[in-house]
């Protein structure tokens, strides 16, 4: 779990994260956009969580309790999930009880009854990825919103959610016995090219004070998985060219803050939502 408070003229980095209200609007790019206003005093506060869904095991329930306490103290407005939402192999379908047992029944604190914005991680792709994207889950728990890539906008910040799993070549060429649900991806080359084109356009048009990009895989990390070379080559240059302030990810089961040596970008890993070691 990681956190931040954003203000008009300053930013404080704490241990949980940021804020909005939900409304879908159109955008010139293909990425769906959700508009939410900042607090009346001009601040944003939200939690960032990754690598969590284990039916309460491996410290997931303990982390959830602390999230509830910090969320109440900070008066958060929403939660961001950096992926690997359901272990070990995502959901089997829209009716999989793991959704309720790993999400609804775990994050029960009043402060966590806010919108959750989620991306898919590599473990989510090992199950029925389409199930997590389904509106059916929002009927089961209205907090849930998971899309491949999208934008959340407030008066202070825009958060750009990026589907990073299809970038990783080894998932296609050396799956190590795992089966990935690539429905909706088609040609990985075309999928990535179109996504980066849409992201580049959206970032270049953004007038937000703070630009934040969220993905599952790290660009820079000193954790077990380390840097994701495909993102270093393809995503990092776009973030630098468009003055992105933060890149937030999971994948490595730890908390990290790395400052880019080539730009003002701050790399933040929040992947300790449950099992804080390899696996």
Please enumerate in sequence order all residues whose Cβ is within 8 A of that of 63, keeping only pairs 6 or more positions apart, or say none.
1, 49, 52, 272, 273, 274
Asked if residue 51 belongs to a known ligand binding site, the reply is yes
Fill in the DSSP letter of residue 179.
Answer: -
Distance CA 271, CA 259 (A): 18
Asked if residue 216 belongs to a known ligand binding site, the reply is yes
Q: In 3-state terms, the chain is what percent helix, strand and coil (to 5)? A: 30, 20, 50
Asked if residue 88 belongs to a known ligand binding site, the reply is no
Phi, psi of 11 (to 5 degrees): -140, 135
CA distance readout (Å), 122 to 63, 109, 197, 251, 255: 22, 28, 22, 8, 19
Distance CA 257, CA 32 (A): 29
Distance CA 193, CA 184 (A): 15
Distance CA 271, CA 279 (A): 11
Strands 157-161 and 150-153: antiparallel
Based on the residue annotation, tell me whether 225 is a catalytic residue of this protein: yes
Distance CA 124, CA 138 (A): 17
Asked if residue 217 belongs to a known ligand binding site, the reply is no
Asked if residue 260 belongs to a known ligand binding site, the reply is no
Q: Which helix (H) or strand (E) holds 139?
A: helix 135-140
Asked if residue 190 belongs to a known ligand binding site, the reply is no
Among the listed residues 224, 225, 236, 257, the single catalytic one is 225
Asked if residue 141 belongs to a known ligand binding site, the reply is no
Please list the active-site residues: 225
- Detail the residues annotated as belonging to a binding site for Fe cation: 51, 84, 87, 122, 216, 251, 253
- Detail the residues annotated as belonging to a binding site: 51, 84, 87, 122, 216, 251, 253
């Amino acid at each position: 779990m990681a956190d931040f408070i954003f203000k008009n003229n300053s930013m404080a980095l704490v241990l949980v994260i940021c804020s909005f209200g939900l409304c879908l609007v159109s955008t010139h790019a293909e990425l769906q956009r959700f508009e939410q206003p900042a607090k009346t005093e001009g601040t944003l506060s939200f939690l960032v969580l990754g690598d969590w869904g284990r039916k309460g095991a491996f410290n997931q329930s303990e982390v959830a309790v602390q999230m509830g306490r910090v969320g109440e103290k900070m008066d958060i407005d929403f939660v961001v999930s950096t992926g690997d939402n359901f272990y070990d192999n995502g959901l089997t379908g829209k009716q999989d009880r793991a959704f309720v047992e790993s999400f609804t029944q775990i994050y029960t604190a009043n402060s966590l009854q806010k919108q959750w914005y989620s991306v898919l991680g590599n473990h989510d792709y090992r199950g029925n990825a389409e199930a997590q994207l389904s509106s059916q889950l929002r009927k089961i728990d209205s907090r849930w919103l998971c899309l491949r890539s999208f934008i959340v906008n407030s008066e202070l910040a825009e958060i750009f959610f990026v589907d990073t799993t299809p970038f990783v070549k080894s998932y296609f060429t050396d799956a190590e016995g795992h089966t990935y649900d690539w429905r909706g991806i088609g040609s990985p080359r075309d999928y990535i090219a179109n996504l980066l084109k849409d992201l580049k356009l959206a970032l270049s048009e953004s007038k937000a004070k703070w630009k934040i990009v969220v993905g599952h895989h790290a660009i820079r990390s000193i954790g077990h998985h380390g840097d994701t070379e495909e993102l270093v080559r393809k995503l990092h240059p776009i973030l630098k060219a468009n003055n992105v302030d933060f890149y937030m990810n999971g994948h490595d089961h730890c908390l990290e803050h790395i400052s880019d040596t080539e730009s003002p970008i701050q790399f933040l890993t929040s992947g300790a939502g449950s099992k804080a070691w390899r696996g």
